[in-house]
Amino acid sequence: MILGIDVSEHNGVLDWKEIREYGISFAMIRLGYGKGHLDSRFYENVNGAIAAGLYIGIYYYSYSLTEEDARKEAQFTSQVLKDCGLFPEKIPMECWLDMEDADGYKARYGALDPSLITSMCEAYISEMNRNGYNCGVYASYDWLIHRIRTEELSPYLSYWCAQWGRHCDFSKASIWQYTDHLDVDGRLLDGNVLISKTWMP
Which residues have a Cβ under 8 Å from the Cβ of 125 and sit 6 or more positions away?
74, 97, 135, 136, 137, 153, 154, 157
Structure pTM? 0.92
**Residue 189's pLDDT is what?**
54
Amino acid at 60: Y
| Segment 131-180, tens digit of pLDDT | 999 999 999 999 999 999 999 999 999 999 999 988 899 999 999 998 87
pLDDT attached to residue 200: 46
d(CA 40, CA 8): 8
Q: State how far the Cα of 84 lies from the Cα of 39, in Å rounded to an integer.
A: 14
Element (H, E) at 183: strand 183-184
Is the model's pLDDT at 188 over the cut of 70? no
Alpha helix (H) residue ranges in 67-113: 67-83, 105-108
Residue 187 pLDDT more than 80?
no
Least confident stretch, 4-13, 30-39, 139-148? 4-13
* CA separation for the pair 123, 117 (Å, rounded): 10
pLDDT at 196: 74
